[in-house]
Structure 1
């Protein structure tokens, strides 16, 4: 049985604001790849991801999730 996990990652780089990225993946390697792909796909121009780190990891289960704070 393959276990899936929710990963909350924090990304910093050139061409985009610091971002939290939440992905569903089987392992950390796939989480990093998925987060990078999401950042690239949602960018309006060429970006460079310089730093990306896993902030939290949770097993994907009913009612699991994250609260993402919004800075004002």
Structure 2
């Protein structure tokens, strides 16, 4: 089975998350606070996570990889 794909729009306080199955079926689309990002991704199966390139993206990639890798 192919992994799900999540996209994150990084911001200062609230992040938008959009997740889809490999067939394109919507898993979730919600806005969460910065403090809930890691707990949200800790509760889902390993997935491909894409995010915009910005100053904080490397930090979030390292943090999310600890839960997903």
Q: TM-score if structure 1 supplies the norm length?
A: 0.27
Tell me which protein shows more helix as a share of its residues: 2
Q: Compare CA radii of gyration and give the structure with the larger one.
A: 1
Asked which structure has the greater RCO (Cα within 8 Å, sep 6+), the reply is: 1
